[in-house]
Structure 1
Amino acid sequence: MSGRKLIVGGNWKCNGTLEQVKAIVDHLNDAHVPCPNHIEVVIAPPSCYLPILKNTLRSDFNLAAQNCWTGKGGAFTGEISVEMLMNMNVPWVILGHSERRTLLGESDQMVADKVAYALSQGMKVILCCGETLEQREKNETNAVIARQIKAVAEKVQSWGNIVIAYEPIWAIGTGKVATPQQAQETHAAIRAWLSQNVGEAVAQQIRIQYGGSVSAANCKELGSQPDIDGFLVGGASLKPEFVDILNAKIYPGFGEKLNSYQEMGPFIADGSHQR
């Protein structure tokens, strides 16, 4: 055992109505999940729902924003500042997600600036990295991820409040999943890069999540790999099966006995960009 606490994030992306949010929260609040000594759970709803979850979600789950600005607030229409999130007592933020990199044009430098500023203000960061299918087929996976993480390494001094999420872009919303061996190889490569370029202590302590069409059906095998310390879940975090994923690495097989999510169906229909 690595000694690294399992961390599972639920990224709701741009989904949900007030009624759907209430249904998901009610289900999570009633669910039997491992205690916080064994797992850290971070839920990332759309920013407009953060205050609602702050008041209604179970206290052993943490909240995350899906994005933040690169610095203090001001004339930046549509953005949300770290100071605003801290004022709402939201401790986590997801940065560098592939959808923001590819659809909204965020560069490695912009992501690094966001990470550095969020950390400087006391926030915790889930830092996403990953490659396209074309890059994987060209055997560029490790080089692409090294470039993305290097930009952050040049800006930050401490990695204690960073979790890395490896999300192969070709596996997001496609139903394709990196094999456990592929995921393990990439997670191990990330840890090796950190060991060589940041420090062995950081490499061994940092938690690395896997994200890419994670579901109740595949999470146990993925979670059995030694360098996979949890999951960043998209589409399945909007469904009752999210509870099975939370239980995957602690109580193998427990999730299937716990709930009948197949009969319940999704709270929110899958969109075109679900993980």
Structure 2
Amino acid sequence: MNWAWFHKLGAPKWFFHYSKPWALPLFIVGCVSLVVGLIWGLAFAPADYQQGNSFRIIYIHVPVAMLAQSCYLALGVSGLVFLIWQMKIAPIFIKAVAPIGAVMALMALVSGAIWGKPTWGTWWVWDARLTSVLVLFLLYMGIIALQNSLTDLLLANKAVAVLSVVGLLNLPIIKYSVEWWNTLHQGATFTLTEKPAMPMEMWFPLLFSTIGLYCLVAGLALWRMQTEILAREHRSHWVKEEVMKHGL
């Protein structure tokens, strides 16, 4: 198998030029899909037969919770790529995506607390799922802190790569916590192996919201990566040409 494309993708210059046409379309598609999903879910989807209208926060909570985990999985993979192959694009990806993942994790915690109040009668319980998501948020903050506190760029890259990889151990705990322990949190809303438990008129707006948020975050991540590439490669000849050409 020819892995030349993989190593080529890891070059900041090539990635910058390849990703430029994709950021804006992904962002626009994400915004449109997210708005459609949220309006559909919050205004037109039927109320839940048990929770009533309070369940509608699911259209925010589930997508941000999924993104929080997906972003960290991507960080862990990028950390492995950097530690094994020393690809320069990997720490750039980690720095670009970590703040986005932290926001997603924080939103998952806040929206979960808002949902928990009418459902469980309390804003917070030390439930296994909630606690493991809190750990996920703290891992994100640790990565961001390391990146901004270490002046040695190579050391910072290695440190965040190691922390990203080690933190992957928390993802199975988040996913299977409701099965391994007796928790208040419900099981998975999305699954690839089973038919959705909710009616289609409630599930489709959730699907739109989730796909929209994934596309929106992908567009933001590409923009952040492009900015970070320009900052790290500012002495490169190709960056100077790019700045002169587009007035960046």
In the superposition, the TM-score normalised over structure 2's length comes to 0.27
Higher relative strand content: 1
Higher relative helix content: 2
Larger radius of gyration: 2
In the superposition, the TM-score normalised over structure 1's length comes to 0.25
